[in-house]
Amino acid sequence: MSARKRTGIIKDPRYAGHCMEKGHPECPARLEVIYAMLDEPELQGSLTEITPRRAEKAELLLVHSPDHIRRLEATEGKESVYLDPDTRTSPLSHEAALLAAGGLCLAVEQVEKGLLDNGFALIRPPGHHAERDKSKGFCLYNNVAIAARYAQQNLGIDRILIVDWDLHHGNGIQHCFESNPAVLYFSIHRSFFYPGSGRLREVGKGRGKGYTVNIPLGPGFGDGDYLTLFEKILKPIAFEYKPDFILVSAGFDIHYRDPLGGMQVTPKGFGAMTRSILQIAEQCCKGKMVMALEGGYDLEGLQDSVREALKELAGLQFTDPAGIAATANRKRMNYVLWRVKRAYKRYWKNLETVSDSGMEEPVGLFDRMREGLAQLVAYLKN
């Protein structure tokens, strides 16, 4: 059993200054419930609070265009500016966005320098949908992409693994790094869902082919299913890639009660996913890993799930990922694993060594039609 860890958390009341509109799911209450949970007895004394800094313009320019930055700067002090149909600003939104990106960079720096073992940036607004020249999907700046580029250019980190378990595909992260083999982007997300990207065939471009790994899923997948993908796909690829640092786009909208979701992950599942990634970090990069909050809109579910992730990070509990994986719906996962392995084994030799037990090819026309129909029905319902 490993010793307790020095886990840092980015926390600041100024994130509440970003408020898009009454009733919007991406609201200040998301952090309020998380921050309240941090005072619970089981976590007290186990976490190091870090006050964020603002991201510098030079850091934003590592990912975003000058025009994009100017557009967001121009929103400061204005009552409301719509950036896309789902995304708007309030007078203090830009300040919060700078603190989100800068806070994540600070957490990465402290972990890389050995001041902390790992960290969780409890920040908002989220970031993984933000593109080089536009804000979208509740996101203003792309926090994780900025932190990855910052780590490489300012901290001398070579290879970075980004794991994105948010319900929605991180289009902005993919587009930022899809031609770059120095960043491996691994995303599990709902298929036929916002923003419409992240298909299995999107494997990267040019020198980056194979370094984008997309696993789109239909609705209804739960703890065992996700952990099966972590254990049988993510781990073999990550152990072959050998990252020097791991970033996690941690979206909690795959929680079983999330109003935007349709997945069935429980707080225990989030703890197990965190532990699975920690095992990769411990084997590949001395445990260096920082998580960044993305989605998650059921307040109680968000609070419970972040608690479980923090307990794993801090070494307060040690969930067995393989044990959770064993509870998967094997018949359904046979098909998913076969498709993913077929798409990526040409790029990752370790996938060839993954046991084919329980991964037989579903050659029947009925199997393929049933899978396609299930995804189409899910798409039409949403």
Tell me what percent of the residues of the chain surpass a pLDDT of 70. 92
pLDDT (tens digit, 9 = 90+) per residue, 313-323? Answer: 999 999 999 99
Output the DSSP codes for 179-245.
Answer: T-TTEEEEEEEETT-TT----TT----GGGTTSEEEEEE-TT-BHHHHHHHIIIIIHHHHHHH--SE
The one catalytic residue in 18, 64, 94, 129 is: 129
Domain that holds residue 17: 7-381
Query: Is there a cis peptide before residue 195, judged by omega within 30 degrees of 0?
Result: yes
pLDDT (tens digit, 9 = 90+) per residue, 57-90? Answer: 999 999 999 999 999 999 999 999 999 999 999 9
Range name among 101-110, 113-122, 200-209, 373-382 with the lowest pLDDT average: 373-382
Model pTM score: 0.94
Residue 93 within a domain: yes
Range name among 185-194, 288-297, 360-369 with the lowest pLDDT average: 360-369
Range name among 95-104, 329-338, 372-381 with the lowest pLDDT average: 372-381
Contact 217, 167 (CB under 8 A): no
Residue 25 within a domain: yes
Burial class (CB in 10 A: 0-12, 13-18, 19+), 371: middle
Q: What residues does 253 pair with on adjacent strands? A: none
Residue 2 within a domain: no
Calculate the average pLDDT of the chain: 94
**pLDDT for the residue 357:** 47
pLDDT confidence tier of residue 373, bands split at 50, 70 and 90? low
- At CA 302, angle to CA 300 and CA 304, rounded to 5? 70
Contact 360, 324 (CB under 8 A): no
- The answer to whether residue 169 is catalytic is no
Residue 364 within a domain: yes
**pLDDT for the residue 96:** 98
**pLDDT for the residue 33:** 98
Residue 372 within a domain: yes
**pLDDT for the residue 354:** 75
Residue 62 within a domain: yes
CATH at 374: 3.40.800.20
pLDDT (tens digit, 9 = 90+) per residue, 261-282? Answer: 999 999 999 999 999 999 999 9
Residue 55 within a domain: yes
Residue 137 within a domain: yes
Question: Residue 99 — φ and ψ, nearest 5°?
Answer: -70, -30
Whole-number Å distance between alpha carbons of 134 and 174? 15
Domain count for the chain, please give it.
1
